[in-house]
Structure 1
Amino acid sequence: MPFSEVDVVVVGAGAAGLAAARELGRRGISAVVVEARGRMGGRAHTVLSDGGHPADLGCGWLHSADRNPWCAIAEGLGLEIDRNPPDWGQGSVGRRIGREAMTDWAEAMERFWDLIDRVGDAGPDRSVADLLPAGDRWLPRFEAVIGYISGAEPGALSAVDLVRYADTGVNWRVASGYGTLVARAGAGVHVSLDTPVTSVDLTGPRIVLTTPKGELCGRAVILTVPPPLLDGEAIRFTPPLPEKIEAARALPMGYVAKLFLEVVEGSGCLWDLEPDTQVPGALDGARTGLYHLEPLGRPLIEAYYGGALALDLERAGAEAMEDFAVGELSGLFGSSVRRHLKPVAASGWAADPWSLGAYSYAVPGGADRRADLVLPVDGRLFFAGEACSRDSYSTTHGAYLTGIDAAAAAAAVIRPDGSRP
């Protein structure tokens, strides 16, 4: 790619970057998106099983679907949305432990969340672990749930940040995969793949970005990389941006791992549960998975892990993750299930050099750092991505909305009067 000039350079072809580029195009402002990976979508990534069934290794649920902008985009692209709600395993838990214990479990979950909610939006902030009653029978189960939600253990999490997260409780799915949707949304956007940015120079009248394919020059830049890429200085800034590094360190990436297994054709009925049932691997420990059986009626199992367990499994490799999953599934449904399952794919977000984790969380005392992270620099360098969202962090729609906001801010710099070319 020769040296070229555009109005805006967008770094990252994930949900935030593609949203920003689409919005800039709508406003008649030239933009190019540079993406380090060889594909679009970022942490939204759909693969296919041998049987041709979509499997989302990244985001999978349209959270807050009743106000999630990706729903309208999906419909505009002609992609089917499944509106059946999940129960996050509650049905299978009730069947497993009985009505009385299930009532006790539900009441405990409500107590735990109430303790966190009492911290309020303004704090003073504390870790989530500081708020939970030690020795409670159901505490390990709640710790597992926190790991699924945040990708980290309660002791590492800001309670204020968790309270600020806003969700309507409506969760839908894209039948062909969330990753498919995000990648399809990039059609028509000028994207250069396999183009990591290694430096950003703000000292001249235009911002200069260095990539292995050459230099790019723009009047403004929208940066959508995850916080660790700022904290680790994967991108060199001239002049340096110590305030961004400090913000990034307060917003590390949580760990979530996924494994998909395919049910071998002709296996018959392996469990006495309806398709789309979710089953926890264990109820008495935090280091356990959540298993989605036959999602959307397909012959798959989606295994989901969070926090330290997710990191350990990803580091151990796909085969170790498969062994762990089949071990828990055998404990649930008998050892015979082993011969009826074959691996499809496993995630590896912790080792991915362009994400270094699944999505952001705030450390205790770090909730307000999201506002610091999103602040523009020099009136020309803008930031977007799920970590920049105050109340929709960790979600694809949160990333999208910050991308739209960044595009609007960049557009105001390029054409202060709002004119079009």
Structure 2
Amino acid sequence: MKKTDVIIIGAGASGLMTAYTLAKAGKTVTVLEARNRIGGRINTVKENFSGPTELGAEFVHGDLPVTLNLLKEAGIDACDVGFEMWQSHNGTFKQSEEFVEGWDGFLEKLNKLQSDMPLLDFLEHNFSGARYDKMRSQIENYVAGYDTADFRDASAFALRNEWNHEDEDAQHRVDGGYGKMINYLANECRNAGNEIHTNTTAREVRWKANAVQVMAANGTIYEAGKVIVALPLGVLQAPDNAEGAITFNPPIEQQKQAIHNMGFGSVIKILLEFDEIFWEKETICANLSNMGFLFSDEAIPTYWTQSPAHSPLLTGWLGGPPAFAEKGTSDEAILQMAIASLANIFKTGQEQLQNKLIAWHVANWTAEPFTRGSYAYDKVKSPEARKVLLKPVATTIYFAGEYLYDGPAMGTVEAALTSGKNVAESILAKK
């Protein structure tokens, strides 16, 4: 087996960005990917649907420098996304971006918090009692839906930082899908003479200073001077005997504990393409022609369109603990949950909606063994855990991933790309 400078475990955005950056600098790399495809939580598909459809990451959430610069370098356009936010409650539609009753007062008190604590503890200390029941429920749903997080252990400081730096006015989609960016990174890596092996599950990392052997489930052994572990946090948190889990020999106990001090959310994404854009029909008692997002109280509560494009594709979203609770539910049952939710929202029959459906896909990322969730969120101990994981083990074992990013774009492709780029540059700086 050919020995390379660096082995990268995981061919998602972070792993491929690491490989791309190292390859550009003349380093040799081998990328190992357990799935039968590259991209990780980016998965742009064309089968069944009328156009490129994102089963995973979809938006560029803001004017994010690493993502937009990479797209520009690759010659891939990103289009601005403008849309209206609507809410459907008790049978009525309302255009509104206010999700939490008493939000300003809540955020004002949160900004005065001196010591970090789980968000639930903050709410119980400051907004207890029946008169705040609705607000607490709305905040819980917001944290679950947007951050895919559990407010029982999510860091109040981290959420405060996110909410104070939201850039909702700048939203983009990648023309043709994020898969084009992934293919660009992979092709650049291969064109430099490097290999990306799919269907190759790394099971064990045997290491000593500046010497690594990675044992794959198929029995192949890969050797390098260094290894970069670019797996999703959910996989790193999995038990040693779980599918996709990886062990280290000798063990790295400090890093293992740090991994478990970070939060990883849950999500199920439902793609639904209909034979017409039924939500724009005049029979609906609201003008939804520019609707981007729709929020409701249904079992599948959140939907979005392809606005500003007028497309018959609706995307359903279930995040946080409610998604985890449905981890073992069949795709067909989740589809029926979505159909029932839409039927309730739009006051129509489930059978009628089902007959209008021409393509669908349930992306249950929480049940997917090589992902095991959505994206990271901070717990109270996460900042210290991140410091541990950002330090290489004997300049030999490195970690990369969106969970290691510390900034307002947490949980995004930008976070993954930034982490991968930073790890590669730290290795290159130690010549």
TM class by smaller structure = 0.7 to 0.9
- What's the CA shift string for 1:100-153, capped at 9, x where partnerless? xx698666233333443333xxx5221112223244234323322111222122
> In the alignment, what sits opposite 2:182?
182
Tell whether the 8 Å contact from 2:83 to 2:290 is kept in structure 1 after alignment. Answer: no
Q: Which moved more, 1:135-144 or 1:254-263?
A: 135-144
The alignment's TM-score, normalised by the length of structure 2, stands at: 0.85
Instruction: Report how far residue 14 of structure 1 moved.
Output: 0.7
> In the alignment, what sits opposite 1:5?
3
Q: Which of the residues 81, 86, 90 maps onto 1:84?
A: 81
Q: What one-letter code is carried by the residue in structure 2 that aligns with 1:226?
A: P
Tell whether the 8 Å contact from 2:274 to 2:359 is kept in structure 1 after alignment. Answer: no
In structure 2, what is the Cα distance between the partners aligned to 1:248 and 1:300? 37
Instruction: Report how far residue 268 of structure 1 moved.
Output: 9.0
Instruction: Report how far residue 80 of structure 1 moved.
Output: 3.0
Q: Which of the residues 321, 329, 332 maps onto 2:334?
A: 321
- What's the CA shift string for 1:69-94, capped at 9, x where partnerless? 2223223333331212345x35778x
RMSD: 2.7
> In the alignment, what sits opposite 2:401?
385
Q: What one-letter code is carried by the residue in structure 1 that aligns with 2:385?
A: R
Q: Which moved more, 1:235-244 or 1:266-275?
A: 266-275
> In the alignment, what sits opposite 1:194?
199
> In the alignment, what sits opposite 2:236?
230
Q: Which of the residues 301, 304, 316 maps onto 1:289?
A: 301
Q: Which of the residues 356, 375, 381 maps onto 2:391?
A: 375
**Counterpart of 1:29 in 2: which secondary structure?**
coil
Tell whether the 8 Å contact from 2:389 to 2:399 is kept in structure 1 after alignment. Answer: yes
Instruction: Report how far residue 210 of structure 1 moved.
Output: 1.0
> In the alignment, what sits opposite 1:32?
30
Q: Which of the residues 251, 256, 260 maps onto 1:249?
A: 260
* Cα distance change on mapping 1:181 and 1:114 into 2, 3 Å: farther
Tell whether the 8 Å contact from 1:59 to 1:179 is kept in structure 2 after alignment. Answer: no
**Counterpart of 2:171 in 1: which secondary structure?**
coil
Tell whether the 8 Å contact from 1:210 to 1:216 is kept in structure 2 after alignment. Answer: yes
**Counterpart of 1:19 in 2: which secondary structure?**
helix
The 5 Å alignment of 1:336-347 reads 336=349, 338=353, 339-347=355-363
- Unaligned ranges ≥5, structure 1: 417-421
In structure 2, what is the Cα distance between the partners aligned to 1:22 and 1:158? 33
Tell whether the 8 Å contact from 1:160 to 1:367 is kept in structure 2 after alignment. Answer: no
Instruction: Report how far residue 181 of structure 1 moved.
Output: 2.6
In structure 2, what is the Cα distance between the partners aligned to 1:258 and 1:373? 29
Q: Which of the residues 316, 321, 343 maps onto 1:303?
A: 316
**Counterpart of 1:323 in 2: which secondary structure?**
helix
Instruction: Report how far residue 357 of structure 1 moved.
Output: 0.6
> In the alignment, what sits opposite 1:419?
none
Q: Count how many residue pairs are aligned between Structure 1 and Structure 2.
A: 402
* Cα distance change on mapping 1:356 and 1:412 into 2, 3 Å: same
**Counterpart of 1:148 in 2: which secondary structure?**
helix
Q: Which moved more, 1:304-313 or 1:214-223?
A: 304-313
Q: Which moved more, 1:266-275 or 1:191-200?
A: 266-275
Tell whether the 8 Å contact from 1:281 to 1:329 is kept in structure 2 after alignment. Answer: no
> In the alignment, what sits opposite 2:116?
125
Instruction: Report how far residue 290 of structure 1 moved.
Output: 0.9
> In the alignment, what sits opposite 2:192?
none
Instruction: Report how far residue 60 of structure 1 moved.
Output: 1.1
In structure 2, what is the Cα distance between the partners aligned to 1:342 and 1:116? 46
In structure 2, what is the Cα distance between the partners aligned to 1:105 and 1:149? 11
Tell whether the 8 Å contact from 2:11 to 2:32 is kept in structure 1 after alignment. Answer: yes
**Counterpart of 1:160 in 2: which secondary structure?**
helix
Tell whether the 8 Å contact from 1:12 to 1:42 is kept in structure 2 after alignment. Answer: yes
> In the alignment, what sits opposite 1:110?
104
> In the alignment, what sits opposite 2:381?
365
Q: Please state if 1:279 is matched with 2:285.
A: no
**Counterpart of 1:209 in 2: which secondary structure?**
strand
In structure 1, what is the Cα distance between the partners aligned to 2:21 and 2:200? 22
Q: Which of the residues 340, 349, 353 maps onto 2:369?
A: 353
Tell whether the 8 Å contact from 1:86 to 1:171 is kept in structure 2 after alignment. Answer: no
Instruction: Report how far residue 167 of structure 1 moved.
Output: 4.6
- What's the CA shift string for 1:216-263, capped at 9, x where partnerless? 111111111123333333212111011111111111320121101111
The alignment's TM-score, normalised by the length of structure 1, stands at: 0.87
Q: Which of the residues 133, 141, 144 maps onto 1:144?
A: 141
* Cα distance change on mapping 1:68 and 1:387 into 2, 3 Å: same
In structure 2, what is the Cα distance between the partners aligned to 1:33 and 1:322? 35
Tell whether the 8 Å contact from 1:223 to 1:382 is kept in structure 2 after alignment. Answer: yes
- Unaligned ranges ≥5, structure 2: 190-194
**Identity across matched positions, percent:** 23
* Cα distance change on mapping 1:178 and 1:115 into 2, 3 Å: farther
**Counterpart of 1:156 in 2: which secondary structure?**
coil
* Cα distance change on mapping 1:268 and 1:362 into 2, 3 Å: closer
Instruction: Report how far residue 293 of structure 1 moved.
Output: 3.2
Instruction: Report how far residue 209 of structure 1 moved.
Output: 1.0
